[in-house]
Structure 1
Amino acid sequence: MTFTPLIPSSGVAGWNFLQSTYDRQYDAFVQSGKLKNDSEYFAENIGEVTSSEDLLNDRRLLQVAVKAFGLEEEINYRALLQRALNEGTSASDALANTMNDERYVEFSNAFGFGPGQSPMTSDSKAMQAVIDKFQSASFEEAVGEVDETMRTALFAKRAMIEVFGEPDEDDVSQLSVRERALREFDLAMKEINGKDDDVPGVTSVEDQWEDIIERDTLREFFDTTLRISAGAAGLEDDERIQLYRERAQIIFGTDDPTVFFSAENKDTIISAFKTRATVNGDDAAETAKTAELSEHILDQMISRDAALNEEWDFISRQEPLAEFMKTALELPDDIATRETSEAMRIYREKAIEAFGTDDPNVFASAANLDATLEVYRENATNAGLSSSEISSNLRTAETILKFSYNQGDAIDGGDADAAATAEIDAGWYSVMGQTGVPRFLNTALDVSSALAPGEIFSDLTIDEQLTIYKDKAVELFGTADLKELTGPYQIGAVNDAYRTNAEAAGESEFFITYYSDIAERELNTLFQSDDTDAEKAFEEALEELRTMNDEDNGPSANSQWFTIMGQQAMTDFMQVALGLPKEVGQMDIDQAVEVYKRKAQQVLGTDKPSEFISGDKMDELVNMYLTRSQMNNLSSGYSSGSAALMMLRG
């Protein structure tokens, strides 16, 4: 049985689905039915072929060979194929070179039967490449049987990469001036700070409250728990934070979320919220959901700080360790009398300065303990302590640290996969508590398709909703990480999916735009704001980059366009994607190239085809092709199916 590719919808939404599930669908396809048998037959028998005649006499081998290079329609033209194989490509008058069709050149080179060449049929790596091309061509053909435009889009994307090579990750020519400045600044900072500049800092109370007020559910939770009036909504952020902190100090005895929502205190806080919500007459089900969601979000926000504060509280209560740390970290003399949460932050900030980490499980580990002890020895010597006193203190501290922390239980260590999953889940919990984002994501991810008949998404538990969100995100976009989904290379696709599904559901253009704008703003605030802040420190870099010389020594834009226009299907693809009239094809080729260049510069920001494969430009080009194909109803133009057969394959 042959696997049929699944494309649930046409246009951009269908393309995004196909791209996100491509690897899984492709693997299922090549392992199914006749395709698998033909591939295995070719792999087992091609090594016995020593001449073009051997290949032409085995039709089953030949079918794989010609299809790999897009020449299946020529399979019955035996003389033509034999000449292409036997004459090779070294001579300018060889048939493959005179056909003005790159498919024949690649077909001839792949098997090496021409003058001065060695047969490639015994080279298993080269023949596996032929099989891979055959399987890709077959999959694209199968996609075409479901949706012709998808087939052409797949061909175009593959052909562009084959002609111009894989995109260069270090190429910045396709980025805007600002994006290049950000990139250059980031690289410069990494060189200055070194590769390991990822030690978590100590989150201040102010920072934690700033995170809280960005999350609608947490604002609701604290407005109720702290008895904040509705009028507070009109306050500026800093005024609102100050109000929260003052009320928290009165009600909880501390304004530090790490303290009042620690493991031993959070049940009391959640109970206070529920009690106050009941007094206010709030709906019981909504109250329970808000409490559960707030607990999930707050747990993630403070988990590391709370765990490390417990570690440092233990240290501060062990007199030998407290004295050791006072010297090693050069702590203030009154550290013992400071408020606990303040003291813990001082300990941790000083530890990062001295040891490079605030986690005792790391700086007291077997690998780092000697360096930690050396920090103490140096500071103690500078402070005038005697050698005997230093040695005695070191022995005591070493024994306690080894006994207490030398087990490798780093707060952020252990199961890295579990930590990454927890961070991803925390992102979803945050958006689930927002005002505008859930509606946007529910539509973009089409969560209703994952529900049983009669089931309502909002009635599900938070964990059930989380599972559906993550599964649908992976299915449609290949990732459940909201930092990736909301980044510059994915948010456009998510927005397109939302718009497509909302339009299909009959939503008005006004509300589509309204909710899209709200969602983009909230998602950017939650997941991208740290990456998009333009620091004044690199304003000079911006100015310098404006004058960057983007010239290169590669092929000119014109020669690249001539390469594309030598392939009819690629020309047709570009014509539709760029929104050009068919009459361009009737122009003189030099005039046509100028038209293509001007339009590409206008639409994509570059007139050089080799740059179309960089960044997200190729996906943008495919999206434009698919959208215009739907709008134009290409039945009156070229047939994408027949055009696809002419496209460069290989």
Structure 2
Amino acid sequence: MSFQPVLPLAGYAGYRFLARTLEVQQAAYAASAPIERATESFREKVPQITSIDDLLDDRQAMQVVLGAFGLDDDIDSAAFVRKVLEEGTVAPDSFAIRLSDKRYLQLADALGFGDLGGAGKTQWLGFADVIVARYEARQFERAVGEQDEQLRIALSVSRGVEEVLQGQDGRTARWFAIMGNAPLRSVFETALGFSSSFGSIDLDQQLEQFQERTESVLGSGDPADFENEAVQEKLIRLYMVRTEMAASQSLSGAAAALTLLQGL
């Protein structure tokens, strides 16, 4: 039987409850039968995965590896995944680097097939532990999202910020990484009060406005400061509160429209 995340509340109150119980809930989820079966099977198979072909030929192992990076939907895109892994992360024009979704870059780097002459990192000490830990965390987020998508996005903020800081050097590069990370961008846009048309303006103008608004609202326009727990807490609180407000306004508008239709 699969453990379902306990989410008795919505909005910011729901996030605070989830944050307080996160460690216990994640442990229970990781110990649930489907997740435990998948991770135990993966650990057993890793010693036999020494090439890209070995990985692509094992659907169960692929599910864990892709799931560890939130790429579950690519399970049937073997040719696409092969290209990501084969070209690696070293060449500046490699496929993973050119893709706007940097989860593929993280995948290629973690497996290392394209960077280490095809040998990859699967036989490195601790490889299975790293992938399993990522898989358990991402699948828990996915399970949360099946009940409440806003809570899933809020839960991913800390990881998203950490990945941006680790994967990019320099303030501008980190901002562009945030802007290219759909869940993280959604949190910033909502929390900072940008309109739905904000994404259509020039990228340099977006960058400038992101920096100015975060400086005003969060106290810093430098992504290096977003790792601070207090800054993240404020960001998530604003995101959740504004999301609740938008939902409330939408419901109010729908109720008013229904009343008018009933009158007619």
Distance change (3 Å), C-alpha of 1:617 and 1:86:
same
Tell me the residue number matched to 2:49: 49
Q: Which runs of structure 2 are paired with 1:95-114 in the superposition (5 Å)?
A: 95-114=95-114
Tell me the residue number matched to 2:144: 143
Q: Report the alpha carbon displacement of residue 559 of structure 1 after superposing the two structures with TM.
A: 2.9
Tell me the residue number matched to 1:569: 183
Q: Report the alpha carbon displacement of residue 51 of structure 1 after superposing the two structures with TM.
A: 0.8
Does residue 624 of structure 1 match 2:253? no
In structure 2, C-alpha distance between the alignment counterparts of 1:162 and 1:108, rounded to whole Å: 14
> Match for 2:133: what amino acid?
D
Cα deviation 1:147-187 (Å, max 9, x = unaligned)? 1110011112211122225xxxxxxxxxxxxxxxxxxxxxx
In structure 2, C-alpha distance between the alignment counterparts of 1:557 and 1:95, rounded to whole Å: 24
Structure 2 residue matching 1:616: 3-state secondary structure: helix
> Match for 1:591: what amino acid?
Q
How many corresponding residue pairs?
248
In structure 2, C-alpha distance between the alignment counterparts of 1:121 and 1:559, rounded to whole Å: 30
> Match for 1:93: what amino acid?
D
Q: Report the alpha carbon displacement of residue 28 of structure 1 after superposing the two structures with TM.
A: 0.6
In structure 2, C-alpha distance between the alignment counterparts of 1:43 and 1:591, rounded to whole Å: 47
Structure 2 residue matching 1:612: 3-state secondary structure: helix
Answer yes or no: is the 8 Å Cα contact 1:120–1:127 preserved in 2: no
> Match for 1:611: what amino acid?
D
Tell me the residue number matched to 1:171: none
> Match for 1:592: what amino acid?
Q
Gapped regions of structure 1 (runs ≥ 5): 166-553, 637-650
Distance change (3 Å), C-alpha of 1:53 and 1:556:
closer
Answer yes or no: is the 8 Å Cα contact 1:69–1:133 preserved in 2: yes
Tell me the residue number matched to 1:129: 130
Distance change (3 Å), C-alpha of 1:37 and 1:635:
farther
Tell me the residue number matched to 1:68: 68
Answer yes or no: is the 8 Å Cα contact 1:64–1:131 preserved in 2: yes
Tell me the residue number matched to 2:197: 583
Tell me the residue number matched to 2:258: none
Structure 2 residue matching 1:21: 3-state secondary structure: helix
In structure 1, C-alpha distance between the alignment counterparts of 2:33 and 2:164, rounded to whole Å: 31
In structure 1, C-alpha distance between the alignment counterparts of 2:172 and 2:49, rounded to whole Å: 41
Cα deviation 1:506-546 (Å, max 9, x = unaligned)? xxxxxxxxxxxxxxxxxxxxxxxxxxxxxxxxxxxxxxxxx
Q: Report the alpha carbon displacement of residue 558 of structure 1 after superposing the two structures with TM.
A: 2.9
Tell me the residue number matched to 2:259: none
Q: Which runs of structure 2 are paired with 1:434-449 in the superposition (5 Å)?
A: none
Tell me the residue number matched to 1:82: 82
Distance change (3 Å), C-alpha of 1:634 and 1:78:
farther
In structure 1, C-alpha distance between the alignment counterparts of 2:39 and 2:248, rounded to whole Å: 34
Answer yes or no: is the 8 Å Cα contact 1:561–1:593 preserved in 2: yes
Answer yes or no: is the 8 Å Cα contact 1:157–1:622 preserved in 2: no
Tell me the residue number matched to 1:21: 21
Structure 2 residue matching 1:76: 3-state secondary structure: coil
Q: Report the alpha carbon displacement of residue 115 of structure 1 after superposing the two structures with TM.
A: 4.8
In structure 2, C-alpha distance between the alignment counterparts of 1:88 and 1:37, rounded to whole Å: 30
Answer yes or no: is the 8 Å Cα contact 2:157–2:232 preserved in 1: no
In structure 2, C-alpha distance between the alignment counterparts of 1:142 and 1:634, rounded to whole Å: 24
Q: Report the alpha carbon displacement of residue 566 of structure 1 after superposing the two structures with TM.
A: 1.7
Cα deviation 1:351-375 (Å, max 9, x = unaligned)? xxxxxxxxxxxxxxxxxxxxxxxxx
Tell me the residue number matched to 1:647: none
Does residue 595 of structure 1 match 2:190? no
Q: Report the alpha carbon displacement of residue 555 of structure 1 after superposing the two structures with TM.
A: 4.9
Gapped regions of structure 2 (runs ≥ 5): 251-264
Percent identity of equivalent pairs: 33
Bigger radius of gyration: 1
Q: TM-score, normalised by structure 1?
A: 0.37
Distance change (3 Å), C-alpha of 1:73 and 1:580:
same
Structure 1 residue matching 2:150: 3-state secondary structure: helix
In structure 1, C-alpha distance between the alignment counterparts of 2:127 and 2:143, rounded to whole Å: 25
In structure 1, C-alpha distance between the alignment counterparts of 2:210 and 2:88, rounded to whole Å: 34
In structure 2, C-alpha distance between the alignment counterparts of 1:77 and 1:635, rounded to whole Å: 40
In structure 1, C-alpha distance between the alignment counterparts of 2:248 and 2:97, rounded to whole Å: 33
Q: Report the alpha carbon displacement of residue 24 of structure 1 after superposing the two structures with TM.
A: 0.5
Structure 2 residue matching 1:633: 3-state secondary structure: helix
> Match for 2:147: what amino acid?
V
Does residue 58 of structure 1 match 2:33? no
In structure 1, C-alpha distance between the alignment counterparts of 2:124 and 2:172, rounded to whole Å: 37
Q: Which runs of structure 2 are paired with 1:428-507 in the superposition (5 Å)?
A: none
Structure 1 residue matching 2:214: 3-state secondary structure: helix
Structure 1 residue matching 2:194: 3-state secondary structure: coil
Cα deviation 1:251-304 (Å, max 9, x = unaligned)? xxxxxxxxxxxxxxxxxxxxxxxxxxxxxxxxxxxxxxxxxxxxxxxxxxxxxx
Structure 2 residue matching 1:129: 3-state secondary structure: helix
